[in-house]
Amino acid sequence: MASGSAEEFLDYFGIPYDVRVVQVNRLHIQQRPYDCLAKQKAGKVPDHAAYRGWLARACCDFVESNAQAESVFAVFRRLEGSSLVPLSSLSD
């Protein structure tokens, strides 16, 4: 996939979407198909239907969920299982 807006990809593949969901989660929605592509067997070239399916699933995932729960980017995966101390609990 070449660079472009999330909306352009969704329009190209004919995937209906909620503009508000895409505005908030565009990078996550665009990253998900790349993650799926990375999991493909070496030498296997996905077709149009595979890309469309990955993108449609990514778009749907963020309708009912959020970026942190979906853990698309490494920063969210690293947070899983770690203990965080709220800034408000720290004192001078």
- 44 Cβ partners below 8 Å, 6+ apart? none
How far is 46 from 33, CA to CA, in rounded Å? 11
Of residues 32 and 72, more confidence is placed in 32
Q: DSSP secondary structure string, 20-71?
A: HHHHHHHHHHHHHHHHHHHTSPTTPPP-HHHHHHHHHHHHHHHHHS-HHHHT
Domain boundaries, the chain: 6-74
Q: In the numeric block, which tokens belong to residue 56?
A: 């449609």
Q: How many other C-beta atoms can be found within 10 angstroms of the C-beta atom of residue 15? A: 17
Exposure pattern of 43-82 as b/e (b: 16+ CB <10 Å)? eeeeeeeebbbbbbebbebbeeeebeebebeeeeeeeeee
Residue 75's pLDDT band (boundaries 50, 70, 90)?
A: very low
For 12-68, how does the pLDDT look when each residue is reduced to its tens digit (9 = 90+)?
A: 999 999 998 888 888 888 888 888 888 888 778 888 999 999 899 888 887 776 555
